[in-house]
Structures are given as C-alpha cells and as structure tokens.
Structure 1
Amino acid sequence: MTALPGIALAEWRAQGREFNCNGQAIRYWTAGEADAEPLLLIHGFPTASWDWHYLWQPLAQRYRVVACDMLGFGYSAKPRGHAYSLLEQADLQQALLAHLDVREAVHLLAHDYGDSVAQELLARHQEGRIQLASCVFLNGGLFPETHHPVLVQKLLLSPIGPLIGRLFSRKKLAQNFARVFGPRTQPSEAELDAFWALIAHNDGPAVMHRLIRYMPERREQRERWVAAMQATKLPLRVIDGALDPISGAHMVARYRELIEKPDTVLLDGIGHYPQTEAPELVLAHYLEFRQRLEAATCSAALC
C-alpha cells in the first residue's frame, strides 16, 4: 500500500478544465507554480491522466505539472469513426502547451502509449519543432520488436476488434490488469472501479479498436523514433517495472543495446504500472534524475 495519499477520482475530475482542440473537448489538469519548470505527464492505454494521481502533488511541489486525457481517453472526447493517431496525440500535447502559454523547454514523463507520443515529441525536438529539456519513460513499447501485447490488444487489432471493444468490461479489465501488474502490487477493487469508470466514460470501449492502431503506427515510425533517441543530447531515463510481461526487463535489455550510455532503473517485483504500483520509488528515481540534471546544469553555468 502506498504511503502517498493520491487523489480520489471524483476530486481529480473536478480539478480538471477543458479546452477545444480541432473541435474536440479535451480535459486537462495543471498544478504548481506558474514560473516553475514545466513537466508534461503523458498517460497510457487504455487509461487516462488519473494514472499520475499519486505523483501529482509531490511533483507539483517542485514543477509546473501539466497533463491531459488524450483524444479517445478518460474524460476527453471520444469521437466515433475517428482515425486516431499517435502523431495527432503529439499535436494535441503541443496544442495544450500553447493553450497554457508554455514557452520554455518542457520536461516529459510518459508511460505506455504515452511513451510513443513522447518519442514523437522527441523526434520533433530533434527537428526543431518543439523545445524539450528531458524525457523519462516508464514501461512502454519503445521498440516494436520487444513489445509483447496481451491477447485483448491483438484481438482489438483484428477484424473482430469492434466486437471485442464492445464486449470489454470491468471484469475483463481486472483479468488483464491482474496479468500485467506485479503479484504483490495488484490494483485494489476501488482502483479497478476508477480505471473502469475512465474507460467506460462516454462509451469508450466503442473506440478501443480504433485507438489500438497505435501498434502498427509504432512499427511505421520505429526508425525515425529510435534514430532520434540515439542522436539526441537530451537527458533520458527509463524507469521500468521489471516483471511487466508487455514491456518489462526484456524491453530495458533492448534499450541498453541500442542507446549509448543508457540510464535505466529496473524496479524489482513491479509490473506495467509503476506509477500506481510503486509511486514512491518512481518519485524517488525521477527526482534523483532531475537533481542530477540540475547539478550538471549548475556546474556548467559555474553557479
């Protein structure tokens, strides 16, 4: 049981605001001092920004934290018949930063599907289209060759995907989460209720088969994204739940093969959702990363 208090879902929802992005209502959250360094949190599939609720206040004490439910997720719009895209979600993150008038370099903390959005933003940073300051990845499919999707993800991508989405339920969610969370850090019934409420809101299961197109899109963008990670001078870190069958220790091993001077942290006994399974550990490793970065910056500036 985490010692961090977290935020109840009803309270979280009440704290959110909305902005319009290309005609779609997007729910977003901000906290912290307006002049603090901006930190953009990017959630995963199939959940939403509430995933960060344990880390939200501790991070907001130090940084200007920003997060949104991406299109098709949580409390944001979930248009039917829409061609959802990771590139569009990156556009959305940039639109949110513009809406908030964030002009300085942005730090990223991402998970799962959000890792892919962060990779696209990193590629855009290399192309001069956005200014980033650092990026930390939690468990996610950074490399298609090491991504091991669960059965329901494969079925959603199949011709029967629309039916699979319609049949998705809280029970199915619980079964799938039981497989990807660590054996000693399983979600509580209350957490499962909250996760399911976010997915089910506005008939979310009806678009899951469209959201899942991110898996082939990852393969399409692999070379560009990996090249950006290999070329960038930005500080990067991976904080990864080692027991995750989707993108656990095997993904980190591949990261260490492909990335020069890899900065990686493996969390023993933790699964696919380290920010909810072991938020204190994630917070400690994230803050250590940032403190080291700040110390290096200060040393370079002779402060």
Structure 2
Amino acid sequence: MPPLRTWTEGGSTPLIGGHRVFVRQDGPPLGPPVTLVHGFPTSSHDWAAVVPVLAAAGMRVTTLDLLGFGESDKPRRHRYAVLDQASLVEEVWRRYSIGSTALVTHDYGVSVGQELLARDPARITRMAWLNGGLYPDLHRPVPIQRLLHGPLGPLLAPFTTERRFAATLRTVLGRPPHDGDLHDLWVSASRADGHRLAPRLLRYIDERRVHRDRWVSALEDFAGPTLFVWGPADPISGAHVLARIRVRMPDAQIVELSGPPAVGHYPQLEDPAAVAAALVAFLAS
C-alpha cells in the first residue's frame, strides 16, 4: 500500500461544517464522479492502492476522512453520529460541486452509505459495498470492540497500543498484512489521540439497531446497479452476511474474494488489485 505520508500529502484539510476535514480529489476533473467512504477505525488511506487505478480509468475520485478519523479533526466531546457523518459527506459534495455520484463504502462507511441512500437515492448512480454491517443482527464485533463499546470503554481506550491495535487487525484479516501497512494504520488512527475516541465512534453499533428498518430498506430497495466485493473469511461481516445478500438481493453483482487464501474484513488492503479491477469493471459499465 502507498505510504501514509504520500497519501496525506496529496490531499487538503478545508474547513467544512466547522471542522477541518481531510479530502482528496484524484483523476480528471470532468470524469464520472465516484466517492469512497472508509471504515472504523482507519481512514481514507485504506483506499490508497485502489484510487490510482480508478483515476487512471478516467474517474473523478473523491475520498475523505470522516470526522474523528485520520487527518480530519478529532474533537474530544463530539457525538460522532452516523447521521452527522452522512451530512459531512454531503457538505464535501457541495464544496467540490459533486452532484450525482457513484458510492463505494466499507465497514463503518456502509452505515454512512445506507443513510445517504435513505436520504436521496436518486443522487447515487451506482452502489458498491465492501465488508460491513449492513444487517445489524449479523454484525459480530470482535471482543475488544465489545469492551470499548461497553461502560468500561472510556477507561480502556487510552491504554490501546500499537501492538494491541495490530494484533486485533490481524484477527479479522484473511491474508497476513505487511508490518509497515499496520504501522501506517495505527499512525492514522492514533493521530491527535484518536484512539481515545473509540467508545464514541463505536456508538454506530447502537445507531444500526435504531435505524435498522430505514437503512435495510435503503439497501434493498435501491434501483441502481449494485455490487458487493466481499471477503468471506471476515469474522465480523463475512460469509454469513454474503449468504443473506444472495437471498435478499439476487440481482446484485457479487465478487467473492475466496482466494486461496480467502480475503477477510479489509478487501481493499488484502487484495487491492482484485478490488480495483472489480470496481473499474462495475463503475465503467
């Protein structure tokens, strides 16, 4: 994966909605727009190996760090609601004069995507999903997420270390990561003590239950082209989620990254070439 420093040097942090938000624009300005939304607890850097391929295919690619993540502001007492993150994406679209756009989301970002679809499905030209908790009853958080989401979360979060962070990520990946990539992920997540925000950011687990009916309807009723690029070895949102998608959305395109070895929770990190190829074929069709 391209180094974090190279990635951040290619973006800027304009003031959007009262906060500094990291945004990148890649590809030709007049190309068909596509917006990529990252997951928890990482940042837009997750897409760093995929974006150049999309840009080379002629697409205008917008990536951003959601509030509380990566290079964006990390206010300590912010509520970090998914609904607010969706509004932030809409503000970025307004700032960069992006009207209709394709949307690609992963992990936490799938909830942001579902909210955006629920608000204005006509704005989304086509939708691509990577591993995430689309159905809250199927979401299986790892033990540390359960702890950080619980009452002891604010006490435990400050003691998160790079070693523990990397160990947790390894448990959800199907393919062994490079140590340098894990280090960059930690640097991004922990910048400005961002790891301390985990209990607040993990409230998305509750929001998924609150907004379940609306968000599942947005997912399943979307009339545009839909693609799932999925790592079945993911213990959080893997093969068990894909099984329901096949039943509930039989017309959707599915690219299952079954390997060997099978991909886990981070398809764009574990097999960026396959993800990029699937996205280019889908977005350019």
TM-score, normalisation: structure 2? 0.96
Higher Rg? 1
Query: How many residue pairs end up in the alignment?
Result: 281
Q: Distance in 1 between matches of 2:22 and 2:280?
A: 27
Distance between the aligned counterparts of 2:137 and 2:248, measured in 1? Answer: 12
Question: Corresponding residue for 1:274?
Answer: 267
1:146 and 1:254 in contact (8 A); partners too: no
- Opposite residue 171 of structure 2, the aligned amino acid is R
- Give the unaligned 5+ runs of structure 2: none
For 1:94, the equivalent position in structure 2 comes to 90
Map 1:192-203 → 2, pairs under 5 A: 192-203=182-193
Amino acid at match of 1:172: R
In structure 1, give the amino acid aligned to 2:189. Answer: I
Identity, % of aligned positions: 38
User: 8 Å contact 2:38–2:109 — kept in the other structure?
Assistant: yes
Equivalent residues of 1:229, 1:259 under 8 A apart: no
* 1:153-172 equivalent positions in 2, closer than 5 A: 153-172=145-164
1:187 maps to which of 177, 184, 189: 177
How far the C-alpha of 1:290 sits from its partner, in A, is 2.5
- Cα pair 1:239 1:266 within 8 Å, conserved: yes
Q: Which moved more, 1:40-49 or 1:282-291?
A: 282-291
Given residue 59 of structure 2, which amino acid in structure 1 is its aligned partner? Y
CA deviation after TM superposition for structure 1 residue 237, in Å: 1.0
Pairwise CA distance, 1:263: 2.1
Mapped to 2, the partners of 1:151 and 1:88 lie a distance apart of 27
Cα displacement (A) at 1:209: 0.7
- Give 1:168 deviation, angstroms: 1.1
Q: Following superposition of structure 1 onto structure 2, how do residues 80-91 of structure 1 map, counting pairs within 5 Å? A: 80-91=76-87
TM-score, structure 1 as length reference: 0.90
**SS in structure 2 of the partner of residue 17 of structure 1:** coil
Deviation for aligned residue 1:7: 2.2
Q: Distance in 1 between matches of 2:209 and 2:269?
A: 28
Between stretches 234-243 and 255-264, larger displacement belongs to 255-264
SS at match of 1:18: coil
Which residue of the other structure, out of 61, 68, 82, is the alignment partner of 1:65? Answer: 61
The one-letter code of the counterpart of 1:278 is D
Q: Does the aligned pair in 2 maintain the 1:108–1:118 contact within 8 Å?
A: yes
User: Any residues of structure 2 matched to 1:101-250 within 5 Å, and which?
Assistant: 101-103=97-99, 105-126=100-121, 131-182=123-174, 185-250=175-240
Alpha-carbon distance in 1 for matches of 2:130, 2:224: 17
CA shift, 1:23, in A, is: 1.5
**2:48 corresponds to:** 53
Deviates more, 1:193-202 or 1:225-234: 225-234
| Paired letter, 2:196 | A
Deviations 1:142-201 (A, max 9, x none): 00111110011111111101122111111111111111011xx21111011100000110
4+ runs deviating over 3 angstroms: none
